[in-house]
Amino acid sequence: MSKPRTGTRSGATWRTVWGAAGVAALLATAGCSSAASAGSDGSGPPSATTSTSSGPTAAGSPSPDGATPDPGTTPDDGTPEPGTTPDPSGGAASPPRCLTPDLAGSLEAVDGGASAGHYELRIVLDNEASEPCVLQGWPGVSFVGDGDGTQIGASATLDRSSPHGSVTLAPGASAHANLSVANAQNFDEDCEQTTADGLRVYPPGEKRSLFVRNDELTLLACANPDDELLDVQAFQPES
């Protein structure tokens, strides 16, 4: 009578199970190796340790493409500060532009400056500051009257043919701009002739004006803005 084969069948069964488990383990190991290899050369999906930030960009920082500046700032375009001019040689900056509060104005008649239907005045500005400053270009000029600085007639046109280099004023120094004035008496009654108290003068680049009082000259203006009486040149250094 033969012995039962139960033990033999059990052993074969366990060998089959362990063999299958070993194959599965090998396959799993190969899979992990392949995934790690793919993530390392960038050709496959990121590995499980790669993190992606989804939070907002910090205020003041550029967006990921670098195209959005801080909304509260203005990009630096290299423009010099108002009132200063850099020295191209790398030296100290030139003096700042002359500001209205640092200037005093006066009017002078120009001897021999009269021509047919015109006479000449000289607008003089003095630097009363303790530091040098620069005037460059044409002043804004108009007649004023009524005892309260009300503008009379048209503002001066600019004689752009006149020299207009930079004029550096040391403390106490002066510069002048020649003003040609048409004689209001040569205009018809539409001129609405009136006597001016003086001139309103805007130094070049300034939005604040000086009232230059007339104490000695008779200034006749046309209230009609269609009649242009004034023509002004750029500032020149006093000789």
The 10s digit of each residue's pLDDT in 63-72 is 333 332 333 3
Residue 26 pLDDT greater than 90, yes or no: no
- Residue 217 pLDDT grade (very low, low, confident, very high; cuts 50, 70, 90): confident
In a domain, 196, yes or no: yes
10 Å CB burial of residue 205 (0-12, 13-18, 19+) is: middle
Residue 201 pLDDT greater than 60, yes or no: yes
Total domain count, the chain: 1
Nearest to 210 by CA among 131, 102, 128, 135: 102
For residues 152-160, average pLDDT: 97
In a domain, 217, yes or no: yes
Q: How many Å apart are CA 183 and CA 226, to the nearest integer?
A: 15
- Yes or no: say if 80 and 97 are a contact pair by the CB < 8 Å rule: no
Residue 87 has φ and ψ, to the nearest 5°, of -80, 120
In a domain, 134, yes or no: yes
In a domain, 197, yes or no: yes
Query: Minimum mean pLDDT among 29-38, 83-92, 119-128, 152-161: which range?
Result: 29-38
In a domain, 25, yes or no: no
10 Å CB burial of residue 123 (0-12, 13-18, 19+) is: buried
185 lies in which domain range? 100-232
Write down the H helix ranges in the chain: 6-40
Residue 233 pLDDT greater than 80, yes or no: yes
Nearest to 179 by CA among 237, 211, 140: 140
Q: How many Å apart are CA 232 and CA 181, to the nearest integer?
A: 9
Residue 153 pLDDT greater than 90, yes or no: yes
In a domain, 50, yes or no: no
Pick the more confident residue, 69 or 129. 129
In a domain, 108, yes or no: yes
Neighbours of 162 (CB within 10 A): 15
Q: What is the domain-level CATH number for residue 175?
A: 2.60.40
pLDDT at position 150 is 95
Q: What percent of the chain has pLDDT over 90?
A: 52
In a domain, 3, yes or no: no
For residues 48-67, average pLDDT: 31
